[in-house]
Structure 1
Amino acid sequence: MSGNVLSIADRQPEDVQRRAVAAVSLQRWREIEHARVVKKGGVPVQTDQGSDLPASLDAWYRSQPVKPGRISPRLTLTDDEKRAYGLPKSARLIALRGLGDEVDHWSVAVFPVMGGYVVGVKAPAGGGGVGVFWRLSHKASDYARRLSVEHGMLIRERYA
């Protein structure tokens, strides 16, 4: 008499197996990343580091103090702040004041500039805003879609 012994995982539908593999892979990646951070800095990263940050990058920009003698706030983020807002470590911020035509409503704006694209939330009537510089068009497009969904605004593209 012969028989096959099937594990519980083999009896599950394929989509359940795929989700389980993805969850295990994510957990392994988190453990490796945690070990790397502890080895590099000696202190584990807290999961709620960005809890005191404003909800969006535009809100962060508008909450920055303007130093005396300057006309706009600082445009630098720490690596932890970039990670909290879902930006790559190489992300550069650019002020949207003076880019494109002024509009009478809030919108997600995409501006082609030398060497890439600037994507951000543009305020009406000269209010400016902050954008992120992207070299690749598909990453700029993905970020514009993400901002559009997060803020519930239309995407306004300007091509030179």
Structure 2
Amino acid sequence: MSGLVLSLTDRQPRHVQSRAIAAVNLQRERERDHVRSIRTTGNPVEVEYRDKPASLDAWYRAQPVKPGRINPRLVLSADEKRLYGLPASARLVDLRGMGDELDHWCVCVFPVLHGYVVGVKAPTGDGGVGVFWRKSYKASDYAMRLSVEYGFPIQERYA
């Protein structure tokens, strides 16, 4: 359905396109919440996620650091991965210490062994969270998605 809606709006003005995309994303999120509530309780109940951070980076920054550790534990459930638009097999990687330190926020793509790490990197050593991708075209697509969502430039792009 979403492919049909988006292809019909291609010929419409920009504000119509953005409203259509927002409506499709809202519908998908409600369907996910509905399925999750049925799985947990067995009864279809409407669930609203007001406490869910808006982005993966916001989720990372909201994680508590346990005593004796330096970084938060980077683990998402399968449902949380779906909410952030990630595949169920996605692995999260801390971006602290990866690449050059920059004085501005940016979307970074790092080639690593057997794949690529893509994420939003904070300035001056604050780190961030990235997602490991095996295929270069998937890493490139995710980097473009992050760049559009945040409005940050892509610092390195290998795809």
TM-score by length of 2: 0.72
Report deviation, 1:52.
2.0
Alignment partner, residue 15 of structure 2: none
Query: CA 1:59–1:43 in structure 2 vs 1: closer, same or farther (change >3 Å)?
Result: same
SS in structure 1 opposite 2:155?
strand
Distance in 1 between the 2:45 and 2:137 partners? 32
User: What letter matches 2:72 in structure 1?
Assistant: P
After the TM superposition, which of the residue ranges 115-124 and 51-60 deviates more from structure 2? 51-60
SS in structure 2 opposite 1:53?
coil
The alignment status of 1:144 with 2:150, answered yes or no, reads no
| Maintained 8 Å contact 2:99/2:110 | yes
Distance in 1 between the 2:55 and 2:118 partners? 14
Question: Percentage identity across aligned positions?
Answer: 65
Distance in 1 between the 2:91 and 2:118 partners? 11
Alignment partner, residue 95 of structure 1: 94
Deviation readout 1:4-44 (Å, 9 max, x if unpaired): xxxxxxxxxxx89x86xxx9xxxxxx7xx95xx96x76726
Please list every run of 5 or more consecutive structure 1 residues that lacks an aligned counterpart in the other structure.
1-14, 24-29
Report deviation, 1:79.
1.0
SS in structure 1 opposite 2:98?
coil
Matched residue count: 133
Deviation readout 1:60-92 (Å, 9 max, x if unpaired): 000100000000011000111101100000000
Distance in 2 between the 1:46 and 1:121 partners? 35
Alignment partner, residue 133 of structure 1: 132
| Maintained 8 Å contact 2:106/2:155 | yes
Distance in 1 between the 2:125 and 2:58 partners? 17
What are the within-5 Å matches in structure 2 for residues 6-155 of structure 1? 43=42, 48=47, 50-155=49-154
Please list every run of 5 or more consecutive structure 2 residues that lacks an aligned counterpart in the other structure.
9-23, 25-30
Query: CA 1:69–1:148 in structure 2 vs 1: closer, same or farther (change >3 Å)?
Result: same
| Maintained 8 Å contact 1:109/1:155 | yes
| Maintained 8 Å contact 1:100/1:158 | no
SS in structure 2 opposite 1:156?
coil
Distance in 2 between the 1:156 and 1:101 partners? 10
